[in-house]
């Protein structure tokens, strides 16, 4: 008889996107002629950069000849990609990393979800709220979250990020062992300055807290003063793991590639207080449960760092960030309270007249045929907000703003 991991049974079904789909479908039945504009999507829409496509074509050809064929690769990633990552994403910002500290993977979702494998089940967890749901759900699966009561997990420390605190999280009131930070933030689109991030690194250093730093959207940072990596802060290598992704940077949501940095200076503890390098544990975990990202994919990711790749990626990011600017200006003109959108592809709207997230979602759908994502779907502090993304087509983005202005002005 196989006994199951009963923690899985505590997880409610993820209703958010299926509820949204149901509401759109019932709208379509009653309004078949209306053109819906979807600004709720968290997926990119622009095609893969040419430099990446060319590198992948060449890599396919490599696989076709005996001399250049690649079978199983290193589980941690090929050195051609790791070297390019270290040189371009870290050395360029004055951060020194060894190749053995970078682990290439099939994306940040897997890594942020799997990292808990190397940590005890009874660590306490802290998250900023609202939050990318994977952090909490993966901890529910391993029994770290407790039980769900009134929309909150009993053993999770929620650190609210709302209009009231300008989306800058306060240090938690209760002790946490592991803390998730995501900047630029999904869903609020807000960022932390170097000073604010320093506050968290110093807190972690003083209290032996492990920070999981998700920088999946760092490529969207426009303001040169905002840190791209937590390792820009002194001492961070002693307290933080950093997750990165090629998904939103270079259109890899369907290709799948990301990487995780686990510095060798970073330690966890055994119950009797012995220090253990987390790098060694993650290396062991990956070598056992992961067989490497495909050679073709890694050649594609390497091309993101070529001069052509860099220029093409910049153009795509500019496209989305121009959408974000158009949206922000349009929404502000409509008198709405808007956050994010300056250094991230997400805009976080305070619902007008104190409407709930879902009521505002429905009004947008029925009155102007625009789809967003109700903020409450990202956590209790998301109630009263709605997320729009800048990943749509320019034409749709412009049309959406015209509709909103007609509606609200």
Question: What x-and-dash track marks residues 321-350 binding ligand PLP by CB under 6 A?
Answer: ------------------------------
CB-wise, 247 or 297, nearer to ligand PLP? 247
Q: What is the dihedral of CA 95, 101, 105, 110, to 10 degrees?
A: -90
Does residue 362 contact residue 369 with C-beta atoms inside 8 Å? no
Q: Which two tokens stand for residue 295?
A: 């050679």
Closest CA to 275 of 266, 263, 283, 284: 266
Total count of residues recorded for the chain: 409
Contact segment (CB under 6 A) with ligand PLP among 104-112, 153-161, 200-208, 356-364 equals 104-112
Among 132, 180, 200, 378, binds ligand PLP (CB under 6 A): 132
Q: Please, which residue, 249 or 357, has the CB nearer to ligand PLP?
A: 249
Cβ–Cβ contacts within 10 Å for residue 331, how many?
21
Task: Report the nearest approach of ligand PLP to the CB of residue 272 (Å).
Answer: 34
Taking the least distance from each CB to ligand PLP, the nearer of 201 and 216 is 216
Assess 253 for contact with ligand PLP (CB under 6 A): yes
Buried/exposed code over 73-96 (b: 16+ C-beta within 10 A; e: otherwise): bebbbbeebbebbbeebbeeeebe
Q: Give the residue closest to ligand PLP by C-beta.
A: 107
One of 109, 228, 237, 299 touching ligand PLP (CB under 6 A): 109
Return the number of the residue (255 or 404) whose C-beta is nearest ligand PLP. Answer: 255
Nearest approach, Cβ of residue 261 and ligand PLP (Å): 14
Instruction: With beta carbons less than 8 A apart as the criterion, state whether 214 and 112 touch.
Output: yes
Let me know: does 280 contact 263? Beta carbons within 8 Å. no
Buried b vs exposed e over 159-181: b needs ≥16 C-beta within 10 Å? Answer: bbbbeeeebebeebeeebbbbbb
Q: Which is nearer to ligand PLP, 89 or 214 (CB)?
A: 214
* Comparison of 104 and 140: residue with beta carbon closer to ligand PLP: 104
245 binds ligand PLP, rule: CB under 6 A: yes
Q: Which residues bind ligand PLP (CB under 6 A)?
A: 42, 107-109, 112, 132, 182, 186, 214, 216, 245, 247, 253, 258
């Amino acid at each position: 008889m196989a006994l199951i991991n009963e923690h899985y049974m505590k997880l409610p079904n993820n209703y958010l996107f299926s509820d949204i789909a149901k509401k759109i479908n019932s709208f379509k039945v009653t309004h078949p002629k209306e053109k819906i504009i979807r600004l709720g999507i968290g997926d990119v829409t622009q095609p893969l950069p040419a430099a990446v496509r060319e590198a992948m074509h060449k890599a396919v050809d490599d696989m076709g000849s005996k001399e250049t064929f690649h079978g199983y690769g290193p589980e941690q990633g090929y050195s051609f990609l790791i070297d390019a990552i270290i040189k371009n994403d870290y050395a360029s910002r004055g951060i020194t990393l060894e190749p053995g500290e970078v682990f290439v993977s099939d994306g940040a979702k897997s890594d942020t979800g799997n990292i808990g494998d190397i940590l005890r089940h009874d660590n306490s967890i802290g998250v900023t709220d609202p939050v990318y749901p994977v952090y909490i759900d993966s901890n529910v699966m391993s029994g770290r979250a407790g039980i769900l009561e009134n929309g909150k997990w009993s053993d999770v420390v929620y650190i609210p990020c709302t209009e009231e605190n300008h989306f800058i999280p306060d240090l938690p009131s209760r002790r946490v062992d592991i803390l998730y930070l995501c900047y630029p933030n999904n869903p609020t689109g807000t960022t932390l300055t170097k000073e604010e991030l320093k506050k968290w690194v110093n807190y972690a250093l003083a209290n032996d807290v492990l920070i999981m730093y998700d920088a999946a959207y760092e490529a969207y940072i426009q303001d040169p003063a905002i840190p791209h990596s937590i390792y820009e802060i002194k001492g961070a290598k002693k307290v933080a793991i950093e997750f990165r992704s090629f998904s939103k940077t270079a259109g890899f949501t369907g290709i799948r590639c990301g990487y995780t940095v686990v510095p060798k200076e970073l330690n966890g503890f055994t119950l009797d207080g012995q220090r253990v390098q987390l790098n060694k544990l993650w290396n062991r975990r990956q070598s056992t449960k992961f067989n490497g990202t495909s050679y073709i994919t890694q050649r594609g990711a390497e091309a993101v760092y070529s001069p052509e790749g860099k220029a093409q990626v910049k153009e795509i990011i500019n496209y989305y960030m121009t959408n974000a600017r158009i949206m922000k200006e349009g929404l502000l003109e409509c008198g709405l309270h808007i956050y994010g959108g300056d250094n991230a592809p997400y805009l976080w709207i305070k619902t007008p007249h104190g409407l709930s997230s879902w009521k505002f979602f429905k009004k947008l759908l029925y009155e102007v045929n625009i789809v967003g994502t109700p903020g409450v779907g990202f956590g209790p502090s998301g109630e009263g907000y709605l997320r729009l993304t800048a990943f749509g087509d320019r034409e749709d983005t412009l049309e959406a703003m015209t509709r909103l202005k007609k509606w609200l002005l």
